[in-house]
Amino acid sequence: MTPNSNITRELERKIRRFISLTLKDIGTEIGEEFDRNFEREAFFNEHWARRKYNNDESRGLLIRTGALRRSIKTETTGHSVVFSSDLPYAAIHNEGGTITVTRKMKRYFWYLYRQLTDNYRRNPTEEALFCKRMALKRARSRIVMPRRRFIGMHPEVERIIREIVEENSRKYFRHEKIPLPQPHRTAETTYRPGREARHQNIRPMERADFIPGAGRAF
């Protein structure tokens, strides 16, 4: 075995280690930032639309039960980090869109209204009044859902990826003559539809781009 082959194997080992730990760091840091979007009520610096019929600033957005916030999962697969949620309504909140009212939806909102008013024995709260308005909508009418993005590409996400890649490059290749990744080649965002889950796929050290898939998943 030649010295060059030993050097090559050692370099390949460093590269594999670098990729593995870099993806882990990216998943941790960006996952925390996506979670903080629920506290900010904004996608980083892009504030979410307020409710149309409720001016109560003390009632948070997208956190009535906390299920959506808790549903975000981070997974490292190969050369990418995937952020996903298995909740069927996650994509409509993240991307915005239009919902067609069905009779089943109307029955569900009447059910919620009765729950929130203890079968009409309590004065309705703002949330209960919202449920009543939804229950009174005509079947097949349309509801426009504003986009309240909590997962996706953003200059701040690119900055975090770039800093992690550069820091880990210096750490693992301090004595190697390997150029650091350039800022404009830091991440690729891929929207891919799943059966229920919606994914945000981030690959470090590749071109930043949006690739829309059918159904605009995240």
pLDDT for 31-66, tens place per residue? Answer: 999 999 999 999 999 999 987 765 555 567 888 778
Query: CA-based diameter of the chain, in Å?
Result: 85
Question: What does the pLDDT read at residue 152?
Answer: 93
Rounded to a whole number, what is the distance in angstroms from the first to the last CA of the chain? 48
β-sheet bridge partners, residue 46? 43
CA 208: distance to chain centroid? 17
Per the DSSP assignment, residues forming a β-bridge with 210 are 189
Query: C-alpha distances in angstroms, 5 versus 10, 14, 100, 143, 173?
Result: 9, 14, 63, 63, 18
Listed in order, strand segments (DSSP E) in the chain are: 42-43, 46-47, 73-77, 80-85, 97-100, 142-145, 187-193, 198-204, 210-211
- Give the per-residue pLDDT at 64: 73
Q: Which residues contact 211 (CB under 8 A, 6 or more apart)?
A: 188, 189, 190, 191
Predicted confidence at residue 32, as pLDDT, reads 96
Structure tokens at 66: 């906390």
CA–CA gap between residue 199 and residue 214 (Å, rounded)? 12
- Cα separation of 125 and 117, whole Å? 8
- pLDDT tens figures, 11-32: 788 888 899 999 999 999 999 9
Integer Cα distance of 151 and 32 in angstroms: 11
The tens digit of pLDDT for each residue in 100-142 reads: 999 999 999 999 999 999 999 999 988 889 899 999 999 999 9
Query: Which tokens is 86 given?
Result: 């298995």
Count the Cβ atoms, other than its own, within 10 Å of residue 60.
14
The CA distance from 36 to 18, in Å, is 27
Residues 82-100 pLDDT 10s:
998 989 889 999 999 999 9
Digit-coded pLDDT (tens) for 136-181: 999 999 999 999 999 999 999 999 999 999 999 888 777 555 555 4
Whether the model pTM is above 0.75: no
Kindly state the tokens that stand for 1: 């075995």
122 secondary structure, DSSP code = S
